Every structure is written in structure tokens, then in C-alpha cells.
Structure 1
Amino acid sequence: MLYLDSIDSKKLVVNVYIPSGDTTPTLALYDTMQYLRCPVATRCLGYAFDLATFIVAAGDKGDRSAMPYSRFILRPISGAARGQADTVQIEANELLKVRDYLHKELAKQTGQPIEQIYKDLKRLKWFTSPEALEYGIIDRIIKPDSQVADEDEDEELEGKGLF
């Protein structure tokens, strides 16, 4: 992404069809998307579960979309810590910092109040495409090409007094 951004300012499209994602690589991708100068569109092509939903929401506002039957999941961030009690406490504190960052950024991307994000991410939360649109994860639902072609044809005929 950084290379493409450096050679051209054309829009990048991130197609998402991901069952989950690890936290550190997801945050690296998110930070990179926010850093780029070129526009970044996101498209959910079936499902975006867990942190993949966060990536879909991270696209440029107005250019985040999903297929009609796409599904999204948001869930509480989790981790696994072992070892001495002090080590477990340190890792738990770090996990809480990451959770707070993700929640703050998701609130910014979706327009939801931060309190709502915390409430919704206490448990697993599923979204259909229309629900993701209403929540602010996406901005539009992609129509199949045949449906778009039919609408374009209707618009052409409307001007000719046929509708």
C-alpha cells in the first residue's frame, strides 16, 4: 500500500473477506490506511469478522461498501497470558490499552458514541449489510451488476417519457 501510494495517488481498494485477524497486524494495516495520502475504499465481499470489521470501517467515509448478503461481527478483544502474576497483569493492562484504542477509533469511524461501542462490544455482535450501514460500518450496499445495468436502462428510458 505504501509503495502504491508513493507512485500514484489513485484510489486503493481493500477487498475484505476475512474470518478474523490478529490484533498487531490489524493495527498495522489500520495505521497504514490512515497514513496514506491516496483515497482508500473498503469492500466487504462476504464476511468481515472480528477485527476485519474494524478494517472495513477504516476506509474513507463515503467509500465503504458491502455485498448485499455480507455479514459482520464485532466482539470483545481477547488475549491469552501465562506466566507469573506480574507478567499476566502487564499483558492484561496492555490488552486494555489496545481495547480502548480500538473502541475509540471504531467510534470515530462509525460515528457511534464511545459508550455505545463499549456496550456493543461486551459481547459478540452480528450485523447484516443493512445493519452495518445503519451502524456506520459501511456507507452503501453494492448492487449486483445486472441490477445496476437495469437501473441505468430505466434512467435512460425515463428521459424518453416511457416511465
Structure 2
Amino acid sequence: MRSKIIYGLAIMGLIAVGCNDPDDGSYVDPVTIYEKMDGDWGLMSLNMVDEYAKANAIEPSEQNMGAYFNYEDFKIRFSVDDNMEPTTYEVMGDVPPLFPANGYWKLSSAFQQPNGEAVKIYLYSDAQKTQMTDELKLVAVPGSGEQMELQLVRKSGGIAFVSYSFKLNAVN
């Protein structure tokens, strides 16, 4: 009986709180990943993973590449237009390219996937986005922490043999 009273009071409290919020009728578009990715991103860390070694429990299977080959200078800019649609990307810094240093981009989805699957970043050489040059995975979506993680996977015969994990933070 006591639990029913507490339950009833909780429901009434929720109804009372909900009734105090006036609905002004305005609509706001949901925030897309494009909006979150827009801007410059600096490298926090870059790890190379030997996928064969990892699958076979051979150590070391992972190496921090951030201090090698000037990768501490790595920055990437993702640009969007006024409608928050993707336009160009550009890798900045004197770094060896792991993927094309500039071009055009789009996402496999403007929103995070409900099944937890990573959103893909498709890279293109042309503005019409017909000539795909590479594919990245958006492992960690930028949010209030202004950090994101990208993964580049290299395959041979459909089997991953090495991957690169870029941890990035927003550059003001």
C-alpha cells in the first residue's frame, strides 16, 4: 500500500513538473554530427595497431606513432557550408600522408547509429563525391568534451592488417 502511495506521488510530481514547461511552438533542427565535426582538430595521440598481432595475441601489437614523423604537427579541418552540409577536408602539418591530404567528405549518417555501429567518413577527390579515395570510421563522436576519435583500417584481401587510431581535440 505504501509503495502505491509513493508511486502515485511520484507520478503526480512528474505531471506537475511537466505542466510548468510552456511549449512556445518553435521547432529546432536536431544537432548533426556535421555540426559537431565542423572546424579544426589537433592530434592528441596516434596509435598504430598490428591487427594480425592483436588477433594472435602477439605483443607488442600497438605502437604510439604521435611523436614520429612530425605527427605532433598533424591537424585536420572538416568544413561545412551554411546549411551544415559537408564540403572539404584538409590535413595540415608536415606529416607523411596516411590518406589523401585534402578533398571532399561526407558521413554515412548525419546522426549516431542506434545499434552502436561507427559512422563512416567517406573521403572523395571530387566535389560531386563520385570518386571515393578512402574511408575512416568515426569511433568517438565529438560532444561536450570537444574530442573525437577516427580510425583508418588498411586491408588486404578483405582482411584488416593494420589500423591507425587518431585521437583529436578541437582547436580554437
The TM-score, its normalising length taken from structure 2, stands at 0.20
Which structure features the higher share of helix residues?
1
Bigger Rg, structure 1 or 2: 2
The TM-score, its normalising length taken from structure 1, stands at 0.20
Which structure features the higher share of strand residues?
2
